[in-house]
Amino acid sequence: MEKEEVSKRINQILSKFDNGVELYQTNAVFANCVEGLLRGGDVYKMLEQVVLMNTDVQNKYLELIKSGKIRQEIIVSKERFEELTKKQK
């Protein structure tokens, strides 16, 4: 396939998305999916892979949160902070 034809087909795919060009330029997963479609990839298999990747990321975040390795901060008002520090004295 010639360079012009590839570019034309990529633009056809990108035009189907509200933000296709920006996503293609800034998101590696999206760009890989577009290039997969360009090569005749199965859209359902790609969608399945994206869903599985998302599930994996969610599970890793959940593990991280449950492990307590994330520093948790409690934000209090100045008045509440003063009240808490007075109780400690």
Confidence (pLDDT) at 86: 82
Do 34 and 48 fall into the same domain? no
Distance CA 39, CA 42 (A): 9
Looking at the structure, do residues 34 and 7 belong to the same domain, yes or no? Answer: yes
Please list the rounded mean pLDDT of every run of 10 residues in the chain (89 residues). 88 95 96 94 95 95 82 75 79
Residue 74 and residue 35 share a domain: no
User: Are residues 32 and 49 both part of a single domain?
Assistant: no
pTM of full prediction above 0.85:
no
How many domains, in total, are found in the chain? 2
Helix 28-38 / helix 43-67 crossing angle, nearest 10 deg? 160
How high is the pLDDT of residue 82?
84
Residues 34 and 43: their CA atoms lie apart, in Å, by 10
Regarding whether 35 and 3 lie in a shared domain, the answer is: yes
